[in-house]
Chain A
Amino acid sequence: MLLSEAISSTDFFHLVPWIVFLPVIGLLINTFLGKRIGEKGVGIVASLAAALTFVISVLQFVSLQAHPEGTTVQLAEWIHIGALNIPWAFRVDTLSTTMMLVVSGVGTLITIYATGYMYFDVRYKDDLKSYGRFFVFMNLFIATMMTLVSGDNYLMLFVGWEGVGLCSYLLIGFWFTKSPDGTSGVGNSEAGKKAFIANRVGDFGFLIAMLLTFWAFGSLQFDAVFAQAETVSKGFVLAITLFMLLGVAGKSAQIPLYVWLPDAMAGPTPVSALIHAATMVTAGVYLVSRSAPLYTAVPEAQTAVALVGGVTALFAATIAVGQYDIKKVLAYSTVSQLGFMVAAVGMGAFVAGMFHLVTHAFFKALLFLSAGSIIIAVERGHHPLGDDAHEAHHDEHHEDEPFDPNDMRNMGGLRKKIPVTFWVYVAGMLALAGIPPFAGFFSKDEILADASHANMLVYVLLTAAAFLTAFYMGRQIWMVFFGKPRSHAAEKAVESPLVMTVPLMVLATLSVVGGFMNFPTLHQFTHWLEHTLGHELAHATEFSPLVAVVSTLLALVALGVSWLIYGRKPLESGQADPLKRPLGPLFTALENKWYVDEIYEFLILKRYRQLAAFLADVVDWRFWHDWFHDSVLARGFRSLTHFLANPVDLGVIDGIANGLAKVTKGLASTLSLLQTGFVRNYALSVLMGVVLILGFLIFR
């Protein structure tokens, strides 16, 4: 039997539940046996669970070659109440398998990287016990993300949606206890809370959308809903899609709910890479792509999505220009690139959006992991651990100073110190900036080409964002790797071990060749997604040479401008940002993220806290407790009891009892007057009685 025949006759669809079970088994092993198997064992178990999940995803991919239309694998019945039937079913089709491959593939690389990264991090935070907890949460994340992408209906998707929100909270606030290097743990848990609460606002929108879906369509199952997409009233579909957009804005960090993502950088860097760059934040894009039939039925909703994406892309890109924290630049870059994806799926370019999702996963994960490598390198330069300390002499004085390893102003000249990290970072940067033939060019160009046909305003917004993207990435490269080291730590920076650099190299390779997944004229990815989305929604984009040339030129110009400002005369230690003087207050606004957090605090959070304080102090304490309970209820009750005790009990009842006795006494004392002691009186009464009786008898 030929291999192709063998593949076509057997399919591995029935193995798909293992994509959820394998990470769960991994996390259970690490939870209960973590202490026994030690750090190395925990890392191996977690990486193996993720790797095996990737293998299962690959098997699904292989099975789809023979059966491209996909299938549904039902695992168990979950909810069955009247018309509502929600089973725990896995939908294996080209769209969900794409997500599965990205999540498990990039997830495996990041987990392997994290085994090295967390080795250093737990030692710098002086908390070795937390090593196992980290990998438990990472595997939990992969399990819930798999639930999200493989769900057969909106509610299963929502279960995964909430699960990844939980994992995000747990991992952002991972260092919630006070760390010895001075960074208080409260900030980390505040960031986790912010992420959860902002996401909750989005989840509220998503829930309303689901309720409306069930109301209008009678089902939450994808196929059942999409079959009726054209026949249900447009008002309903518009409401559903707009509320879903709120959920997307929360999970995929769009305006107005993006504020949690930059704060989420408080979590360890592998978390930022996996959750807040490559996978969780793309859940919103996946949701819109999955709901494509609903969105294409209401063009107004599509315009709303596209505009939200476009504006967010430009807005976040401007903020990234003014940031000094290496991870914050990448965070705002992520928000901006998510804006690209959301704008793409909003304009009906679902293939372009998903393509950018995949390539972005590669190069953004690469950039974040490399940033982590840089941070660890600088930290090891600042405070050498056990092995390093033998090579470098301990400079006690420098170790005690407060030092932020994330701050780019403390770096500089690192390309000589950490060359491997430097080269992979360059690869990631070129991919993100959209320079051909790197991956980002093909995916971003496809989005821009689609935008030029669909919505000119969005095209302008995205092109401007692309220009700024190249600019701030160039700024970052010059600031971090070129010039002279601006601090002692940067002087002594050390390259990271192989367990961290090998995943970086794999991701760098993917960032370079990943674009050929959907090469113009070949369109393999388009044909792949066509099996799920259908021919009209997954149309192949015409390659527009004009758009491609314009975007490439703009990117190169932006890199050139960034070299002129930051590269030609590299930043000196203690020098202010060269853009500060020319841009003045504009740059201060950029540094302070356009004061959005402060505006939210003033308009929303402070009012909410005031409302809570009002409800607690005035309504609950003063009104309910003091007035109602004490004055009305308690006093009323007390006066009732006093009334019952004194007038009723003492007055009436005792009165009756005492009265009875008094009457008897009166009667007795009255009657005792009859007993005079005089015999003659007695004799007289006897006589009278006799006379009366005789009289009665005689005259009867």
Chain B
Amino acid sequence: MVPISYFVALAAILFTIGALGVLIRRNAIVIFMSIELMLNAANLLFVAFASTYASLNGQIFVFFIIAVAAAEVAVGLALIVAIFRSRHTIDIDELSELKG
């Protein structure tokens, strides 16, 4: 079998890329994609451990995460469309009026 450490490393890399994407990219949709990437990295980890320790808990939890990710994307994309309709941009640097 493939050693578990490969999966962990892969998931860590994916998660880091996703986190950096959230922090660095300015496009809202790309941020969403990075969030998805982070979530999928978590999914990968869950499945890998489920497979290694022959436990179904990980796989069940992946279902939940997928459902939540889907719901969140739906709402988020709807928000982005609404913002684009009023501001004509989805550059998050431009959307910084809620400040002190």
Please list the residues of chain A having a beta carbon within 8 angstroms of any beta carbon in chain B: 671-680, 683-684, 687
8 contacts between A and B (CB under 8 A): A671-B100, A674-B100, A677-B96, A678-B92, A678-B99, A680-B22, A683-B23, A687-B22
What residues on A are CB-neighbors of B72 within 8 Å? none
Asked whether, in the complex, the Cβ of A677 is within 8 Å of the Cβ of B23, the reply is no
For A678, give its contact among B19, B24, B93, B100 (CB under 8 Å).
B93
Contact with A along B19-52 (1 / 0, CB 8 A): 1001110000000000000000000000000000
Interfacial residues of chain B within 86-100, with CB under 8 A of chain A in the complex: 92-93, 95-100
What residues on A are CB-neighbors of B98 within 8 Å? 675, 677
What residues on A are CB-neighbors of B19 within 8 Å? 687
B76, chain A: closest CB distance, angstroms: 12
User: How long is the Cα–Cα vector from A533 to B99 in the complex, in angstroms?
Assistant: 121
User: A683-B22, A684-B23, A687-B23 are known contacts. Are A676 and B95 too (CB-CB below 8 A)?
Assistant: no
A-B contact count (CB 8 A): 32
User: How long is the Cα–Cα vector from A435 to B93 in the complex, in angstroms?
Assistant: 146
What residues on B are CB-neighbors of A675 within 8 Å? 98-100
User: How long is the Cα–Cα vector from A121 to B13 in the complex, in angstroms?
Assistant: 140
User: How long is the Cα–Cα vector from A683 to B92 in the complex, in angstroms?
Assistant: 12
B19, B93, B98, B100: residue with the most chain A Cβ atoms closer than 10 Å: B100
User: How long is the Cα–Cα vector from A672 to B98 in the complex, in angstroms?
Assistant: 11
User: How long is the Cα–Cα vector from A677 to B97 in the complex, in angstroms?
Assistant: 6
Q: How large is the interface on B (under 10, 10 to 19, 20 to 34, 35 or more residues)?
A: 10 to 19
Asked whether, in the complex, the Cβ of B92 is within 8 Å of the Cβ of A679, the reply is yes
Asked whether, in the complex, the Cβ of A676 is within 8 Å of the Cβ of B99, the reply is yes
User: How long is the Cα–Cα vector from A678 to B22 in the complex, in angstroms?
Assistant: 12
User: How long is the Cα–Cα vector from A72 to B99 in the complex, in angstroms?
Assistant: 113
Q: Which 6 A-B pairs have the closest CB atoms?
A: A677-B99, A672-B100, A677-B96, A675-B100, A679-B92, A678-B96
B38, chain A: closest CB distance, angstroms: 10
Asked whether, in the complex, the Cβ of B23 is within 8 Å of the Cβ of A676, the reply is no
Asked whether, in the complex, the Cβ of B23 is within 8 Å of the Cβ of A680, the reply is yes
What residues on A are CB-neighbors of B100 within 8 Å? 671-675
What residues on A are CB-neighbors of B96 within 8 Å? 676-679
What residues on B are CB-neighbors of A674 within 8 Å? 100
B95, chain A: closest CB distance, angstroms: 7
User: How long is the Cα–Cα vector from A400 to B22 in the complex, in angstroms?
Assistant: 133
Smallest CB-CB separation from A678: which chain B residue?
B96
What residues on A are CB-neighbors of B92 within 8 Å? 678-680
Asked whether, in the complex, the Cβ of A679 is within 8 Å of the Cβ of B95, the reply is yes
Smallest CB-CB separation from B95: which chain A residue?
A679
What residues on B are CB-neighbors of A672 within 8 Å? 100
What residues on B are CB-neighbors of A683 within 8 Å? 22-23
What residues on A are CB-neighbors of B97 within 8 Å? 677
Smallest CB-CB separation from B28: which chain A residue?
A679
Smallest CB-CB separation from A668: which chain B residue?
B100
User: How long is the Cα–Cα vector from A671 to B24 in the complex, in angstroms?
Assistant: 24
B75, chain A: closest CB distance, angstroms: 16
What residues on B are CB-neighbors of A679 within 8 Å? 92, 95-96
Given A672-B100, A680-B22, A683-B23, 16 other A-B contacts at CB below 8 A? A671-B100, A673-B100, A674-B100, A675-B99, A676-B99, A677-B97, A677-B98, A677-B99, A678-B96, A678-B99, A679-B95, A679-B96, A680-B24, A684-B23, A687-B19, A687-B22
Smallest CB-CB separation from B92: which chain A residue?
A679
Smallest CB-CB separation from A672: which chain B residue?
B100
What residues on B are CB-neighbors of A671 within 8 Å? 100
A686, chain B: closest CB distance, angstroms: 9
A72, chain B: closest CB distance, angstroms: 108
Smallest CB-CB separation from B22: which chain A residue?
A683
B33, chain A: closest CB distance, angstroms: 14
Interfacial residues of chain B within 52-100, with CB under 8 A of chain A in the complex: 92-93, 95-100
What residues on A are CB-neighbors of B22 within 8 Å? 680, 683, 687
Smallest CB-CB separation from A674: which chain B residue?
B100
Smallest CB-CB separation from A676: which chain B residue?
B99
Smallest CB-CB separation from A686: which chain B residue?
B22
What residues on B are CB-neighbors of A673 within 8 Å? 100
What residues on A are CB-neighbors of B95 within 8 Å? 677, 679
What residues on A are CB-neighbors of B99 within 8 Å? 675-678
User: How long is the Cα–Cα vector from A557 to B35 in the complex, in angstroms?
Assistant: 157
What residues on B are CB-neighbors of A678 within 8 Å? 92-93, 96, 99
A326, chain B: closest CB distance, angstroms: 116
B12, chain A: closest CB distance, angstroms: 12
Smallest CB-CB separation from A673: which chain B residue?
B100
User: How long is the Cα–Cα vector from A397 to B22 in the complex, in angstroms?
Assistant: 138
Smallest CB-CB separation from A679: which chain B residue?
B92
User: How long is the Cα–Cα vector from A677 to B98 in the complex, in angstroms?
Assistant: 5
What residues on B are CB-neighbors of A676 within 8 Å? 96, 99
Smallest CB-CB separation from B26: which chain A residue?
A680
User: How long is the Cα–Cα vector from A683 to B19 in the complex, in angstroms?
Assistant: 9
A358, chain B: closest CB distance, angstroms: 119
Smallest CB-CB separation from B35: which chain A residue?
A683
User: How long is the Cα–Cα vector from A671 to B100 in the complex, in angstroms?
Assistant: 9
User: How long is the Cα–Cα vector from A674 to B99 in the complex, in angstroms?
Assistant: 9
User: How long is the Cα–Cα vector from A196 to B97 in the complex, in angstroms?
Assistant: 103
A672, A679, A684: residue with the most chain B Cβ atoms closer than 10 Å: A679
What residues on B are CB-neighbors of A684 within 8 Å? 23
User: How long is the Cα–Cα vector from A687 to B22 in the complex, in angstroms?
Assistant: 10
User: How long is the Cα–Cα vector from A674 to B96 in the complex, in angstroms?
Assistant: 13
